[in-house]
Amino acid sequence: MSKKVTLSTLVVLNFIIYISLGLPDSILGSAWPSMRQSYAMGASQVSYLTTIMLLFSFFSSMLYTKIAKYLTVAQVILMSMLCVIIGLILMIVSSNPIVLFICTPFMGIGQGAIDVTVNHFAAKHLPSSLMSLLHGFYGVGVSMSAAILTFFLSSFSSWRLAIGTIALLEILILLLIFVYRSHFAERDVATSEREDKPDAGLSQTFQLRHLINPIFYFFYAIEAVMGIFLATYYVENFQVNSAQAAFYTTLFWLGLMVGRFVTGALTRFMTDKTIIYSHLGLLLLMSITLIFPPGFYTMASVFLIGLAMAPLYPLMMMLPNQMYPEPIAQKVISYNVGFCMLGILVFPLLFGALFKVMNFSIFPALILLLTVILSALVLLINQQQKK
């Protein structure tokens, strides 16, 4: 009975931690049209902030194996959440752009370390059937923050109150994890031990063709591009008010969240390949609708774009184990994560520069281009799988 209670508590705590992971991730995408006016910054400059944040997130993720030797899982989680809270507070206490740039390393460091920590911990202690639900609760966090921003922008025209509310939620979750820190009192010993063992993948031949899966994840940056630029696109290109544009971003993240839960149910009735192809077709169709001026259909379009993207990340991550020997599969999966982060670093910066030169009217064409590339890569990967 005690073990069952402990497992139930761990499940609930991990769900809550994943919600906290998602809470900060829609802030810049939803609030930037209003925030940039307070900071007297350009619409495309959000890409610089997200790039800095992702760089620090990448570094903290890479340093996790070093950190895990000296800190317990609870300590890593608590320190990471504290960094995020500091970053959120810095956002709302000043209108100086320098302070805004200072807050992004705190956000990045906190997000990167906690992401790796909770994934490792959940994989070790929770049944595999719950892992997809965890990613769904990340979507709950993203959707919640986008909804909070939409509410405060429409009701009070204040992005500061919205981010303050998100920071308060993060503080409450921090206190909750502190109270139950004994459940995360261990160190991630497995991570440290793996460093001392020879890499099993070195005994296998890693070839260039194995990079096709990571290349897919490089272009999967389409999800981040949508989250960051969707609201600004509607504000800049169609003069939609900030609250309405933030609502569109909320619907996008909501579609992504709902889609992750729906995918878990669909896998019982459909093959992974069928789910991926049908959702890519939906994504191609819905991407075209971004060209048209906003209307009654726009809410459904942006929701369906999120829904269409939902199964791509988790289902494509399962393919390496089906295609390659275990050592190669492990290496491919690690490259998948690295290439995905690299894409999220590169594309917002690249698109931000393009928007500055050519304006936001090219946004639908860029989304459609990324969708076509993802579809072509899926076809190539499935052809490789048949060989």
pLDDT at residue number 263? 79
Ranges for all domains in the chain classified under CATH 1.20.1250.20: 8-196, 198-387
In the chain, the percentage of residues whose pLDDT exceeds 70 is 84
Q: Does 241 score more than 50 pLDDT? A: yes
pLDDT at residue number 238? 92
**Structural class in CATH, domain 198-387:** mainly alpha
Task: Kindly tell me the burial class for residue 321, based on how many C-beta atoms sit within 10 Å of its own C-beta (0-12, 13-18, 19 or more).
Answer: middle
Say how far apart CA 331 and CA 210 lie, in whole Å. 9
Kindly list the distances between the CA atom of residue 254 and the CA atoms of 142, 305, 309, in Å, as whole numbers in the listed order.
8, 10, 12
Q: Does 19 score more than 50 pLDDT? A: yes
Least confident of 248-257, 329-338, 361-370: 329-338
Task: Kindly tell me the burial class for residue 202, based on how many C-beta atoms sit within 10 Å of its own C-beta (0-12, 13-18, 19 or more).
Answer: exposed
DSSP string, 53-91: HHHHHHHHHHTHHHHTTTS-HHHHHHHHHHHHHHHHHHH
User: What does the pLDDT look like over 174-199, one tens digit per residue?
Assistant: 999 999 888 777 665 444 444 444 44
Task: Determine if residue 186 is left, alpha or beta; phi over 0 gives left, psi from -120 to 50 gives alpha, anything else beta.
Answer: beta
Whether residue 351 contacts residue 225, with contact meaning beta carbons closer than 8 Å, is answered with yes
How many CA atoms, within 13 angstroms, populate the side-chain half-sphere of residue 328?
17
Label residue 330 by pLDDT band (50, 70, 90).
Answer: low
CA 11 to chain centroid, in Å, comes to: 21
User: What does the pLDDT look like over 105-154, one tens digit per residue?
Assistant: 998 888 877 776 776 666 566 654 566 667 778 878 887 888 898 899 88
Q: Does 204 score more than 80 pLDDT? A: no
What DSSP character marks residue 43?
G
DSSP string, 265-283: HHTTTS-HHHHHHHHHHHH
**Structural class in CATH, domain 8-196:** mainly alpha
Q: Does 284 score more than 80 pLDDT? A: yes
In the chain, the percentage of residues whose pLDDT exceeds 90 is 29
Residues 6+ apart with CB under 8 A from 200: 326, 327, 330
pLDDT at residue number 184? 78
CA 283 to chain centroid, in Å, comes to: 18
**Number of CB atoms found within 10 A of residue 95's CB:** 13
Task: Determine if residue 114 is left, alpha or beta; phi over 0 gives left, psi from -120 to 50 gives alpha, anything else beta.
Answer: alpha
CA 349 to chain centroid, in Å, comes to: 17
Label residue 201 by pLDDT band (50, 70, 90).
Answer: very low
Closest CA to 247 of 31, 35, 12: 31
Label residue 59 by pLDDT band (50, 70, 90).
Answer: confident
User: What does the pLDDT look like over 65-78, one tens digit per residue?
Assistant: 677 778 888 888 89
* Interval 94-113 mean pLDDT: 87
DSSP string, 112-160: HHHHHHHHHHHHHHS-GGGHHHHHHHHHHHHHHHHHHHHHHHHHT--HH
